[in-house]
Amino acid sequence: MLGITDHASSVPERNDARLNIRTKASIKEAIEKAAELSGMDLSTFTTNAAYLRAKDVIAVHERTFLEPVDHTAFFDALDRPAAPTQKLLAAAKQHKEMVATSE
């Protein structure tokens, strides 16, 4: 038996949401076997597998990865921002006027 940790049970919420899925019989059999080998019931095993994968996907999409040259350019731009253009100044003025009149 593998040392699988039940990560989903550590989430401090009630288990009152349902997740219904359809799959192929061979996939279900493989998941059932893996759950059994892990010492978990099917629901716990499936929830944990999906939850961990979901966290991984979310983490990848919430990070920005830059090549070293891009990393340097990005932080240089933050350290030395360009002067605002006339168009940007006009947009800021228009925004300020619109916000002031809406209050």
Q: Which amino acid is at 54?
A: A
d(CA 34, CA 27): 11
Residue 100 has pLDDT above 80, yes or no: no
Residues 6+ apart with CB under 8 A from 66: 74
Residue 55 has pLDDT above 90, yes or no: yes
Q: Which residue has the higher pLDDT, 5 or 73?
A: 73
Entry pTM: 0.58
